[in-house]
Every structure is written in C-alpha cells, then in structure tokens.
Amino acid sequence: MSIIRRAVEQIAQVMPNRAEDELQRSHRYLGQPIDRLDGVEKVTGAARFSAEYPVEGLAHASIVFSTIAKGVIERIETAAAGQAPGVITVVTHLNAPPMKVPAPMSIGSTPSAGSTSVKILNTDRVTWNGQPIAVVVAETEEQAAHAASLVRVTYAAEQAVTSFEAAIAQAKTPKDVLGESPEIVHGDPDEAMRSAAHAVDLTFTTPPYNHNAIEPHAAIAVWTGDDRVTVYDTSQFTAGGASSLAQVFGLKSENVTLLAPFVGGGFGGKGTLWFYNQLCVMAARMIGRPVRIALTREGVFRLVGGRTPSLQRVAIAADAAGKFTAFIHEGVTAQSNENNFPEQFSFPPRHLYAMASYRIGQKVTTVHRIANTFMRAPGESIGTFAVESAIDALAYELKMDPIELRARNEPDADPVSGHEFSSRHMREAYAMGAERFGWRHRPPTPRAQRDGDWLIGQGVATGTYPVYRMATAARVRINADGTAVIQTSCQEMGMGTATVQTQHAAERLGLPMENIGFEYGDSSLPWAGVAGGSSQTVSVALAVHQAADELVKALLALAQQHADSPLAKASLKEVHAAKSGIYFRDHPATGETYAAILQRAGQAFVEREVKTRPGMEAMKYSMHSYAAQFCEAAVHEQTGEVRIRRWVGSFDTGRILNPKTAVSQFRGGIIMGIGMALTEETVFDDRSGRIVNASLAEYHVPVQADVPFIDVVYTDAPDPQTPLGAHGIGEIGITGVAAAIANAVYHATGKRVTDLPITLDKLL
C-alpha cells in the first residue's frame, strides 16, 4: 500500500461521516431562498468597492504602460510629467525602491498559475505590451492621468513572438497540468479510429478572452509608520494577497491588512496580485501619504491576465451502437515566459465518458504577452466546447439523438482513475432538462425549422466542473447575550457567500439568523482559501462546522462545572445545538441556553478557531458537478446574426443551500458562456503584441438584449462526501454553454462552427 493511500485511509477514518451530519437533511434555513444579506447595501450604493473609501490626504496614481512586447527601455523622459500641475512624483525603474517578486501563489496544486515573476519597475526589461513602466502620483486622478500621458519612452525593441498561431509549432509537453499528468493514453486509439464504424475528427480554436468584472481593479494603500500597511484591494483572496504584498515589501505578514468586504466580481481575475496593488503600496510609502490606483477599463486589459487561446483536436470513434471505441482530445494553449499555467482544457473527457481506448493530453507554447490566468471555469469551459461539439457531430453521423448517445457512454466509475463517483446524476439532469425544454419536439435533421428569415435550431451539451476544497480556518464565538460571530477571511464577490454561511452557522448553532454576525473580507481574520475553483462554500462550511462542534463541546464542559446544570451528566453524544443553546436530542425540553451557561460562569464569551486541511476525499472519489445545457438559437438567413431564444440549464451540483443565490450563480455562468460563444474575443495586433480592443465598446460582453429568460432546474441530490452535501457552483454554469450554442447553430443552419466566437462572418 502506498504511503499516500495509507495517509488517505487514516485521515478518512478520523473524518466525520458527513452523510450523517444532521444538517444534511435540515430545512430550517438551509435550502431556503433567503435574500442576500448585503442586498440592500448593494442596491442602495452603501456597499463600498475598493476605490471608494474616503481616506484623508489621498493622492492618486496613474500607470504608464509599455507599447512594445519585448525589449529594453533605453530612455524614459519624465521631466514634463514631473512639472505638470498637481504632480507629486514620477516613479520609473530608475528611482523605484527594490521590491521582491512574491513566491508564486499556491492555488489548487499549480503554484505559479496566474502570477508572474516579472520584476515590475525594478528592471529596464519589457516582457509584454502593456507592462507598467512608470507610475505618476498627483493630487487628483485627472492630473495623474494627464501627466502620465507626457512620459516619453525610447525602447530597443527585440524580436517578439506575439502570435499564438506562430508559436504553436514550438509547443512542448508541460511537466504537469494542475498536478495531473499532461497526457494519458490507454489502448491504441489511432488504430480504433482507422477501423471505426463511425468517427468524427474535428479541430477547434478558441480565442483569448479578457476579464471584465463590473468593478475594475483598484487599490488604496494607507501606511502606518514604515512597517505596517492597510490596503483596500478588490480581491478574491484577501489572505493570499496580504501575504504576497508582505513578501514584496519585506514586511511581516501580520503587518499587512488587506480589506475587501465587497468585491464587484472576480471570475479568476482577482485571485493573484496584478501589479497595480503592489505599485499603489510602493507609491504610498514613497510619498508618505495614502495613494489610490483605480485602473481604467483599458488598464484592466493591459495589466490583468486573461484566458489563453487554444487549439484543440477531438477525434471520437464509435461502434454501431454508439459506444466510444476511441477518444482523442489533444491540443495546445499559450502562456507567457514568466508564468506556468497550461489551462486544463483536457480535463473534461478524463471524467465524462466510458471509452475503450483514449489519448487525452495537452501541450503548451509561450508567447510574449501578459501571463494568462484563471478565468471563468478555466479548462472546463473551453474543453467542453470542443468535446461536446464533437459528440454532437458524432450523433448526426450515427443518426442518433445526442442525449441518447451520451447516455450510452455514461460510465459506472471514473473512466480514467477507476474511482467511484461521489455523486453523479447525469441521467436525471438530462431527463429534467429535456422535459422542461420540450426536447422531444425537436426535429432530428438540421435546417428543418424557420420563423420568417430566421432559421431555428436546438442544441444540447454537457457541462462539468470538479469539486475542490481548500484549507480554510474559521473562528466562532458565542457571546453571553446569546449572539454569535463567525470570522474568516473569505470573500463575498456577489455570490451570496455571507448569506449562505450565515444560514449554515445559524442552523449549526441553533440560533436565529439575525443573531449571527458573519465577518469576512479582511486578511487579519482566520485564513480562508481563495474564492476560486468554486471551492469557497464547502471550504468555509467545513471550518464553521468543526469550529461550532468544538464550541458546543466547550460550552457543555463549562455547563458541567456546575452540578445543578440540567446538562451536568450529559454526554456529548446525547446533546446537540438547538433553540439558542444545548439540549438533549431525546428530551428537547431539557437543556440550557448559551446565555444561561455563559452568564452563570461569568464569562463574556467562548470562542474556538479551527483550521481545516484540503480535501483528501478527492483522492478516494471522483468528485464533480454536472450540467445539461439546452439552447434554442435563431440564425438570420441573410445576415448570419445569432440570437439565443430559450435556455434551460439543468444542474447536478450536490445539495442546493440557497435556491435564490444558486440560481443567480447558474444564470451568471450561462450569460458568461453566451459571451464566450458569440461576442467576446480579445484581439491582438500580432506585429506589436498590443490588445487593440481594450474597451467595452469593442470587447463585447452580453447585454440584457442578448440574454433570454434562463430557466434553471437542478437535482438537489446531496453529495455524501462533501460538507452539507453541497458543491461549489460558481463555475459550472459556464461549462457546456458554448457547445450547446454551437450545436443549436448547427441544428438551425447545417453549419458546424468550430472557431469561437460564432460571429456573423462564419455563418455566411
């Protein structure tokens, strides 16, 4: 038995059997469509984003971006900028203080994903078009921006490879892909392809995409003396951001406080430091005043990484019954020379279908562009586009319904690892979605429906996203007045985190929700993992669960110091938290309130803090969320315009803790998928490596008029291996969407578009 396997089994023995957690079945708060606790603050504007904190004596900084992709700064003229009205200082590589490059942030098991080793402002070297090369600090934002426009730079430019297409030939196999093997092979899929009764072999391309959260990246830095700094920063990871900033400036971790109580969306773009925060802290230290940097929308494009482009081949062979005899998924993504993130597009088929033989893997090449990073279900969104489009094509080849084809290849266990699925209700998700959508009315042949000049089609695709859980700590305190406070440094980016965790804590402690305070978004609170990888809900839930259990134990012990307590002889097993106190399970009237226990003991409060470890259950089970995405599209016969007319998203994502916030998450993901499929695309000028559509006028995210009513259904089937039976649901919504749209467009027109986005020109 391997050391790892033994460790897993030992840990599994000491872990509580989560399926027996009584809250798996409780319905007082959990499972209820409770309004967001921060809803009123959000809609009235009382919730502040990072750039909005009123700080005394605030100065404003503006960043100068490089205009070449690779080379050396020969001359940088700052005199005119320095003399412009209101300017306090101009910082370049010639006068910037030394700063350390932070250790790659560890997110999941790919430590350097999404962060780069570029020595910003401590080098004359330029490694992407848009790199910060100067920071101007002035009394007002306008003065800073004006002065920044006066900085003149002369470069010694070097030959750069900025085009993905040009770099593909140099692609190499990475050491690993998020800790997984970069290529897995079983049997001889090439031979199976040659001898197949039915086969498809398609090549797909997806473009680079950029982050466009509603809140552009911004920070305010306030130093206290020279060894302590508070930073308001829009962040998906307050604890990680504070620790990285501490490394950059050589400070003790506890002397950096990163505050992000409200975040206007992250989607992967706020998981690691993206220079503006570091430059803000630097500038504030240099001038001895608080400084704010609020990136413009263009600034976000220049300074924050986005999604890699990809080239993917999917080849599938099937026998006459539709069973997959070969499955090949391979291709290339890009990264920069300074980061390490081969986006994991090859993950979906490792877990989705039974396959008699397979080769699944990926290569990576490098370009002189900004580092790519996490974005909206990295891997699974672009991977499912290719895989689920190819399966649709195979269904036509077989003259078989595409849902039936998928059902015939439904695996009994994980097709690669052989592990049991912790929870998988794919057939139910398809059945529910098909019923709701009216799939049975769909004609089997393409180009069979029209509405005036519009060709109508229906498409379906599978979505999938893994279940991750991160190491997370939480502190729970119960006060003598019977109220409770939960503290953890986690983030609320609009998902409903604060609401759902308060529902959980209230139920766990047997308190009314209004008696629970939930404090978060502050790096000085107990460490919470990143709000990424759709992991936060279960990560925080387990920490709150364990801390609450410890607290109840402590309160019982406190009660038992007094012989006249009704709990004096109770064993822990006989009691539980209920009715604002501890009561016998079998005699619900016998027990004491927390307030009574604490007041008798003369204590103001009791608190407990626990740290959880990452999920070892993931080594025993294949753990994923699933979706069946149903789309009806209309394609204008003369103009090629695509409109989405109807949508049903059917989800299998464990137990739903709050239907209101959950459905909102699913819808948000589907809308992102509509953008990915139809309108969004980052356009690079391959001569200079510069993004040419760095604005929302030219980078088109879906607007209301692009989005129909999105109907959402879900299995609500608890996963016995996860805290509360839940799954994170931030990212599953986008997966499968682009394929469902491409499949609906094919059904409408008979044209298979394999190159995202599906713009008009590709349909004429």
Does 378 sit behind a cis peptide bond, omega within 30 degrees of 0 on the bond before it?
no
Tell me the C-alpha distance between 117 and 135, whole Å: 19
For ligand MOS, the closer of residues 652 and 731 by Cβ is 731
Spell out the residues 6+ positions from residue 721 whose beta carbon is closer than 8 angstroms to its own: 18, 19, 422, 423, 617, 621, 623
For ligand MOS, the closer of residues 556 and 672 by Cβ is 672
**Amino acid residing at 308:** T
Q: Which of 208, 342, 533, 669 binds ligand MOS (CB under 6 A)?
A: 533
Nearest residue to the partner ligand MOS, using Cβ: 268
For ligand MOS, the closer of residues 342 and 533 by Cβ is 533
The answer to whether 267 contacts ligand MOS (rule: CB under 6 A) is: yes
152-157 and 71-77 as β-strands: parallel, antiparallel, unpaired? antiparallel
358 closest CA partner among 322, 320, 316: 316
Q: Are 495 and 730 in contact (CB under 8 A)?
A: yes
The answer to whether 266 contacts ligand MOS (rule: CB under 6 A) is: yes
Q: Are 92 and 76 in contact (CB under 8 A)?
A: yes
Residue 378 Cβ vs ligand MOS, minimum distance, rounded to whole Å = 5
Residue 271 Cβ vs ligand MOS, minimum distance, rounded to whole Å = 6
Q: Are 148 and 134 in contact (CB under 8 A)?
A: yes
For ligand MOS, the closer of residues 402 and 668 by Cβ is 668
Q: Are 330 and 362 in contact (CB under 8 A)?
A: yes
Residue 204 Cβ vs ligand MOS, minimum distance, rounded to whole Å = 20
For ligand MOS, the closer of residues 457 and 733 by Cβ is 733
Residue 245 Cβ vs ligand MOS, minimum distance, rounded to whole Å = 20
Residue 311 Cβ vs ligand MOS, minimum distance, rounded to whole Å = 21
Tokens of 696: 């929302």
**Region near ligand MOS per CB under 6 A, out of 153-161, 263-271, 337-345, 558-566:** 263-271
Q: Where are the alpha helices (DSSP H) in 15-105?
A: 39-44, 79-83
Spell out the residues 6+ positions from residue 629 whose beta carbon is closer than 8 angstroms to its own: 433, 460, 461, 462, 463, 647, 648, 649, 650, 670, 673, 736, 737, 739, 740
Residue 453 Cβ vs ligand MOS, minimum distance, rounded to whole Å = 39
579 closest CA partner among 505, 527, 511, 491: 511
Site for ligand MOS in 280-309 (CB under 6 A): none
For ligand MOS, the closer of residues 536 and 743 by Cβ is 536
For ligand MOS, the closer of residues 498 and 635 by Cβ is 498
**Region near ligand MOS per CB under 6 A, out of 126-134, 266-274, 698-706, 740-748:** 266-274
229 closest CA partner among 196, 192, 264, 255: 255
Tell me the C-alpha distance between 615 and 533, whole Å: 13
For ligand MOS, the closer of residues 66 and 488 by Cβ is 488
Tell me the C-alpha distance between 630 and 739, whole Å: 10
Site for ligand MOS in 206-225 (CB under 6 A): none
Q: Would you give the end-to-end CA distance of the chain in angstroms?
A: 60
Residue 373 Cβ vs ligand MOS, minimum distance, rounded to whole Å = 8
Site for ligand MOS in 374-433 (CB under 6 A): 374-376, 378
For ligand MOS, the closer of residues 243 and 344 by Cβ is 344
For ligand MOS, the closer of residues 23 and 493 by Cβ is 493
Residue 675 Cβ vs ligand MOS, minimum distance, rounded to whole Å = 15
Tell me the C-alpha distance between 470 and 108, whole Å: 8
**Region near ligand MOS per CB under 6 A, out of 185-193, 262-270, 473-481, 495-503:** 262-270
Tokens of 314: 């999917």
Site for ligand MOS in 726-755 (CB under 6 A): 731
Does the active-site annotation cover 731?
Answer: yes
Residue 301 Cβ vs ligand MOS, minimum distance, rounded to whole Å = 17
Tokens of 458: 């229906």
How many residues bind ligand MOS (CB under 6 A)? The answer is 12
Tokens of 504: 């959980």
What is 287-326 written as a DSSP string? HTS-EEEE--HHHHHHHS--BPPEEEEEEEEE-TT--EEE
Q: Are 733 and 649 in contact (CB under 8 A)?
A: yes
- Residue 260 half-sphere exposure toward CB, CA atoms < 13 A: 31
Q: Are 643 and 705 in contact (CB under 8 A)?
A: no
What is 166-231 written as a DSSP string? HHGGG-B--S-BTTB-SEEEES-HHHHHHT-SEEEEEEEEE--B----SS--EEEEEEETTTEEEE
597 closest CA partner among 557, 545, 547, 549: 557
707 closest CA partner among 683, 742, 737, 735: 737
Contact track, ligand MOS, 234-253, x by CB under 6 A: --x-----------------
Q: Which of 130, 132, 268, 383 binds ligand MOS (CB under 6 A)?
A: 268
Q: Are 728 and 735 in contact (CB under 8 A)?
A: no
Candidates 141, 338, 609, 731; catalytic one: 731
| DSSP-assigned letter for residue 275 | S
Residue 109 Cβ vs ligand MOS, minimum distance, rounded to whole Å = 13
The answer to whether 456 contacts ligand MOS (rule: CB under 6 A) is: no
Residue 107 Cβ vs ligand MOS, minimum distance, rounded to whole Å = 8
For ligand MOS, the closer of residues 388 and 731 by Cβ is 731
Residue 262 Cβ vs ligand MOS, minimum distance, rounded to whole Å = 16
Contact track, ligand MOS, 124-153, x by CB under 6 A: ------------------------------
Q: Where are the alpha helices (DSSP H) in 58-188?
A: 79-83, 141-148, 164-167
Tell the residue number behind the tokens 């940097």, with chain if given: 293
For ligand MOS, the closer of residues 160 and 263 by Cβ is 263
Contact track, ligand MOS, 344-383, x by CB under 6 A: ------------------------------xxx-x-----
The residue ranges that bind ligand MOS (CB under 6 A) are: 236, 266-268, 271, 374-376, 378, 532-533, 731
Give catalytic residues, as residue numbers: 731
